[in-house]
């Protein structure tokens, strides 16, 4: 006897186990604590609520359990008090970087110069917390932190650009409904891939009738074409060059006027890209020998790399090449997330980065402090591993868009800048603040400049986009002076 067409199939043992773990997460009571924070402006009494929220599937069944950690001012008027949702990127990163680096009422202090400090580390009061401006809700997407999907099908959905946006839309909608905050002014802050996600959420939440007043993009990554050094994609070679020049100046690799200041190096590189380099990359093999040699010489001057290497790389210096080669003579590799950082290479020097010195100064301090805060202050006593940076999520990510309805999907590099542009055109009161670290070689400021400038909107709409720059890396807020400047820039932006 043949099975009935479209009859429901029996869940696999793996799906049953995943569902049971999600149900156990959702059954946990809300973890609560209270505290007070003294800021330069005022003292704030607040409560913390950490809860697992369900992401409902088509038939109402939970597809995932997602951890939200909310910091809420006591006795505030919910119709006037804003709510800011925040998350990091990866894909595969939990939200501890923004939570314990800049936004939350507790902060991990690390050395300003991107060097590795000595432990132990713990979260301490953060007088520059964004809690003085609005309530904060940090989200760990599925398979980051302790958040989980309920089946293999749900996991596949969660590990995709469109599925991730859909799931987090539901998480934010549900949080607002459960907490009776749908009438509150709404904001969003995403970092790195969190800006890819955030740009998409600006539009998807608008489709739900929930409009953001402001979107904050920290270390922008809306257009992957600007960041991925694929064969045939010349764009990042041009867009990374000013950031390479800035880094080279910091490490003393430049000469003459270029070494005078970081601004001099950046401005020279920006002008070269606009006036010659982009056109030279486009010309490719049509360059004359004399033209080619001029480009080789100038790229070498601006990056501090040997002319022979620039020539061998066909005028195109990738991020991986720069990390390994810039300080090769010193036996060091340059940091990706903070290029001020550098680390020793192995005795057998390979042409590759085996670890990123830019994250080593942050990973252990943030992880240990976050786990101590969750277990100590909130009483979240889960023994499962807290996935700070889940490499499997990143490896398995489906970058295509338009695939959730079983359509073939759009090919090429992922982009959500069109989502943000449409949201800006549809909602005349939406504004954007972008923050870039000049020593970020993961999402360089110069690539973000291009991405923001090409938003598909008229100049009158793009006027609502503000871009600010800081003298540190991807997590620019780890440097005290930049944390203070970011707070001032945010306060000014909120008043405009």
227-265: pLDDT as tens digits: 999 888 999 999 999 999 999 999 999 999 999 999 999
pLDDT value at residue 280 = 97
For the record, the structure tokens of 184 come out as 């509150």
- Give the pLDDT of residue 1: 45
Q: What is the pLDDT of residue 175?
A: 97
Rounded to the nearest 5°, which phi and psi values hold at 428?
-70, -10
CB 192 within 8 A of CB 440: no
Encode pLDDT of 22-75 as tens digits: 999 999 999 999 999 999 989 999 999 999 999 998 888 999 999 999 999 998
* The pLDDT of residue 407 is above 90: no
User: What does the alpha-carbon distance between residue 465 and residue 475 come to, in Å, rounded to a whole number?
Assistant: 21
Q: What is the pairing mode between strands 431-437 and 214-218? A: parallel
| pLDDT band with cut points at 50, 70 and 90 for residue 162 | very high
pLDDT tens readout for residues 343-385? 998 877 777 778 899 898 899 999 998 999 999 888 888 889 9
pLDDT in tens, 95-143: 999 999 999 999 999 999 998 888 888 889 999 999 999 999 999 999 9
Reply yes or no: is the peptide bond before residue 120 cis, omega within 30 of 0. Answer: yes
pLDDT at 11: 80
What percent of the chain is modeled with pLDDT above 90? 82
Average pLDDT, the chain: 93
Looking only at the bridges linking them, the beta strands covering 465-470 and 431-437 are: parallel
**H helices present in 1-71, as ranges:** 13-27
Per-residue model confidence (pLDDT) at position 8: 59
Tell whether the model's pLDDT for residue 470 goes beyond 50.
yes
In this predicted structure, what is the pLDDT of residue 145? 96
Reported as type and span, the H/E element at residue 218 is strand 214-218
Higher confidence at residue 137 or residue 1? 137
Look at residues 416, 468, 440 and name the one whose alpha carbon lies nearest to residue 224.
416
Confidence of residue 409 (pLDDT cuts 50, 70, 90): low
Neighbours of 76 (CB within 10 A): 16
**Range 201-223 average pLDDT:** 97
What Å distances lie between residue 422 and 36, 199, 207, 216, 415, CA to CA?
40, 10, 11, 16, 13
Say which range, 150-159, 399-408, 414-423, 475-484, has the weakest mean pLDDT: 399-408
Identify the residue whose tokens are 């790229």.
Answer: 299
Q: What is the predicted pLDDT for the residue at 228? A: 94
Question: Which stretches of 373-406 are DSSP H helices?
Answer: 391-396
Give the helix/strand (H/E) hosting 300. helix 289-303
Q: What is the three-class DSSP state of 271? A: helix
pLDDT at 5 over 60: no
Residue 333's SS3 state is strand
Q: What share of the chain is helix, strand, coil (3-state, %, to 5)?
A: 45, 20, 40
* Per-residue pLDDT at 194: 96
Give dist(CA 154, CA 157) in Å, integer: 5
What token pair was written down for 394? 């990143």
What is the token pair recorded at 59?
């038939």
Longest dimension (CA), the chain: 84
The owner of tokens 């001020």 is 340
Strand partners, 50: 31, 69
Q: Which phi and psi angles does 201 have, rounded to 5°?
A: -70, -30
CB 293 within 8 A of CB 301: no
pLDDT at 476 over 90: yes
Q: What is the share, in percent, of the chain residues with pLDDT greater than 70?
A: 96
CA separation for the pair 415, 216 (Å, rounded): 17
CB crowding 432-441: b at 16 or more within 10 Å, else e: bbbbbbbbbb
User: What integer pLDDT is reported at residue 233 of this predicted model?
Assistant: 94
* 3-state SS string for 171-238: HHHHHHHHCCCCCCCEEEEEECHHHHHHHHHHHHHHHCCCCCCEEEEECCCCEHHHCCCCCCCCHHHH
Extended strands (E) in 296-430: 332-334, 342-344
Phi/psi at 347 (5° precision): -60, -40
Contact between residue 378 and residue 367 where contact means Cβ atoms under 8 Å apart: no
| Distance between CA atoms of residues 40 and 423, nearest Å | 35
73-99 pLDDT, tens per residue? 998 998 899 999 999 999 999 999 999
């Amino acid at each position: 006897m043949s099975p009935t067409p479209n009859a429901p199939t029996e869940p696999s043992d793996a799906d049953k186990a995943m569902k049971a773990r999600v149900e156990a997460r959702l059954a946990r009571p809300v973890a609560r604590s209270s505290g007070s924070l003294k800021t330069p402006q005022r003292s704030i009494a607040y409560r913390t609520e950490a809860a697992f929220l369900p992401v409902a599937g088509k038939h109402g069944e939970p597809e995932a359990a997602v951890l939200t950690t909310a910091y809420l001012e006591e006795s505030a008027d919910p119709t006037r008090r804003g709510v800011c949702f925040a998350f990091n990127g990866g894909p595969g990163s939990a939200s501890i970087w923004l939570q314990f680096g800049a936004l939350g009422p507790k902060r991990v202090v690390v050395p300003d110069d991107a060097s590795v400090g000595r432990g132990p580390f713990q979260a301490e009061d953060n007088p520059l917390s964004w809690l003085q401006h609005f309530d904060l809700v940090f989200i760990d997407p599925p398979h980051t932190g302790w958040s989980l999907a309920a089946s293999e099908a749900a996991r596949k959905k969660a590990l995709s650009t469109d599925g991730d946006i859909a799931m987090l839309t539901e998480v934010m909608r549900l949080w607002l409904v459960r907490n009776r905050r749908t009438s509150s002014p709404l904001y969003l802050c995403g970092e790195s891939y969190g800006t890819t996600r955030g740009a998409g959420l600006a539009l998807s939440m608008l489709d739900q009738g929930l409009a953001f007043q402001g979107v904050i993009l920290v270390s922008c990554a809306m257009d992957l074409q600007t960041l991925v050094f694929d064969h045939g994609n010349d764009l990042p070679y041009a867009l990374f060059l000013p950031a390479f020049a800035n880094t080279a100046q910091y490490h003393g690799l430049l000469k003459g006027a270029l070494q005078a200041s970081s601004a001099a190096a950046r401005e020279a590189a920006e002008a070269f890209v606009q006036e010659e380099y982009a056109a030279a990359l486009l010309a490719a093999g049509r360059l004359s020998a004399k033209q080619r040699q001029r480009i080789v010489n100038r790229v070498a001057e601006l990056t501090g790399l040997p002319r022979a290497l620039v020539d061998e790389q066909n005028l195109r210096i990738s991020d991986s090449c720069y990390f390994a080669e810039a300080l090769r003579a010193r036996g060091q590799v340059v940091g990706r997330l903070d290029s001020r950082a550098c680390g020793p290479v192995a005795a057998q020097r390979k042409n590759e980065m085996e670890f990123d010195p830019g994250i080593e100064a942050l990973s252990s301090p943030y992880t240990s402090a976050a786990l101590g805060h969750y277990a100590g202050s909130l009483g979240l006593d889960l023994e499962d591993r807290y996935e700070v940076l889940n490499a499997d999520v990143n490896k398995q990510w489906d970058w295509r868009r338009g695939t959730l309805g079983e359509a073939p999907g759009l090919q090429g590099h992922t982009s959500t800048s069109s989502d943000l542009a449409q949201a800006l055109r549809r909602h005349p009161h939406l504004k954007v603040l972008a923050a870039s670290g000049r020593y970020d070689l993961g999402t360089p400021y110069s690539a973000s400049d291009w991405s923001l400038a090409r938003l598909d909107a008229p100049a009158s709409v793009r006027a609502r986009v503000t871009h600010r720059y800081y003298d540190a890396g991807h997590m620019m807020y780890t440097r005290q002076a930049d944390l203070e400047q970011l707070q001032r820039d945010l306060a000014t932006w909120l008043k405009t």
